[in-house]
Structure 1
């Protein structure tokens, strides 16, 4: 085909500078190369494999079995990348956050191929395994979740702990880029998470710019509408003072005075701490979302959701927590008190303190 292009320009009656440039490009174009690929599962032992991919070989093979039909290429022409290699190189990106060229050197692929695979697989994970992230669905699951929270600090009827964390990103550019600059002066996606007592992510909202407040995200979320409809009965969430007090969302007191109030605050804070620990484990397991995500803004949400799904899969498979390899700055939104709380919610919280935590306080002193 290259000779035909050259012959076309040679036979033409007139030649322009543009024609000469095209001919020169065809003659000097680099030939396509196929690099050798290392069999990662066989090359690394179990310890080294886990350090590099944040999952054991058993869990990776389970993931491969779930996704291989969606990743398999129609033919093996041009050394098509196998589903297993697609999963491994994507996990490598999640585990490091490196630019695609680094992973390309490791897997013997061009960086553009790596980029396409990462973004395609992230979307496949979000579609095929989205059921891994879910709120308790039935009475048995709700009771189990409540019991696990109760064992932490005896706070009753808790179904989840809620908070937001910022996922750092590059400046997205455009007219709306400043919407992504948060109050700590870096660009981010403000991501809402509801976590259970085992650090599993029950609900995730990852589409809001960094300048949006936590309470705004919650007020616009589907999970709030479910609580408003009463889908979870008398169960409640635990949040910090950045959220408005509601019957189904308990926040800490500003200045506790009595012993029952202090006991309420202590129990609320200790129980709510699971969502902060979830952020730490999630970002330690997949440092790509703990450091700055260097991808296009349209590809950021699938990566955040995919890593959250894989985080839950790791918990379900009882994977170890990776050792922390670097210290990330505290990028969570600072607590901001909402001054306009409804009186009915305050009465409900006061009843909980006086009827439950006062009795609990008496039991602990006796």
Structure 2
């Protein structure tokens, strides 16, 4: 990991350990000023440089590499990631804010995650109450807005039936009527289970975010920071080739993918056009499975 320089002295290189801790601290609190104000002895510039140095190390190299990795799984081309939500249990604030209760009937943060072909977490949103629908989280996330602006190009995410069908977010066929649709659904499922296995490894490695631990005994805001930090540490473990922990049963903490998508945003006509573009993209993929 490259060294960066302390903003106050100009001649003191931060060690990789300090850079990592600064980046993790920033990820937990989400503010350069809060990190500086916590008595770390680092300047805002040093924290910013540490985040910039650490983050690329924890992410995959090229889009083409991701495409090839996912295509090798089940034959679906141009997949840039799999998106799904998982419920991270937290200390029960439900007496004041019932919205924290999710569909599994416990207080949680509905955490949206995108995973690549290696099992690295490439995007995470940990801020919404457990009762928030996954499609709402996606549409209101920076990633969802980036996708809607066309920044994925020809690439797209795979998601379950709880997400809206879009040209940049492909979901399975609800009622497959042809052999090609059935084969596409099988390939979609085989690829999508990659993120379900990652959830199990992630929560097994960090039991504090699994329901078996009783949930995070912190405020919702602090819990969100812990979730993001464990995601970064998970990526570090994958990069380092650490032994995989025994997987946990993730079903009880999963978002309910049977619920129909709740899609805010454009008027009905605009949503219909977006849906039709998704239908066309999915049909192009189905045609590959004739």
Provide TM-score, normalisation by structure 2. Answer: 0.74
- 73, 80, 85: which one aligns with 1:164: 85
The answer to whether 1:149 aligns with 2:70 is yes
> How many residues are aligned here?
244
Higher relative contact order (CA 8 A, sep 6+): 2
Q: Residue 295 and residue 263 in structure 1: after superposition, are their counterparts in 2 closer, same or farther (change >3 A)? A: same
Equivalent in the alignment of 2:31? none
Q: CA deviation at 1:204?
A: 0.3
- 185, 196, 206: which one aligns with 1:265: 185
Q: CA deviation at 1:218?
A: 0.4
Q: CA deviation at 1:70?
A: 8.5
Equivalent in the alignment of 2:17? 67
Q: CA deviation at 1:339?
A: 8.7
- 81, 86, 99: which one aligns with 1:179: 99
Equivalent in the alignment of 1:131? 55
Equivalent in the alignment of 2:197? 277
1:179/1:211 contact within 8 Å kept: yes
Question: Cα deviation per residue 1:73-97 (whole Å; 9 max; x = unaligned)?
Answer: xxxxxxxxxxxxxxxxxxxxxxxxx
- For structure 2, list consecutive stretches of 5 or more residues without a partner in the other structure: 1-13, 23-37, 41-46
Instruction: State the distance in 2 between where 1:173 and 1:120 align.
Output: 34
**Runs of 4+ in structure 1 over 4 Å off:** 69-72, 126-130, 132-136, 326-329, 339-356
CA RMSD of aligned residues (A): 3.2
Equivalent in the alignment of 2:32? none
Instruction: State the distance in 2 between where 1:243 and 1:316 align.
Output: 30
Equivalent in the alignment of 2:252? 330
The answer to whether 1:231 aligns with 2:151 is yes
Q: CA deviation at 1:334?
A: 1.6
Instruction: State the distance in 1 between where 2:15 and 2:242 align.
Output: 18
- For structure 1, list consecutive stretches of 5 or more residues without a partner in the other structure: 1-63, 73-118, 362-366
Instruction: State the distance in 2 between where 1:70 and 1:228 align.
Output: 32
Equivalent in the alignment of 2:174? 254
Q: Residue 304 and residue 230 in structure 1: after superposition, are their counterparts in 2 closer, same or farther (change >3 A)? A: same
- Which structure: greater helix fraction? 1
SS across alignment from 1:155:
coil
Instruction: State the distance in 2 between where 1:276 and 1:141 align.
Output: 23
- 88, 109, 124: which one aligns with 1:189: 109
SS across alignment from 1:215:
helix
Provide TM-score, normalisation by structure 1. Answer: 0.59
The answer to whether 1:317 aligns with 2:243 is no
Question: Cα deviation per residue 1:317-354 (whole Å; 9 max; x = unaligned)?
Answer: 11111235x75661212222349895545554554565
Equivalent in the alignment of 2:216? 293
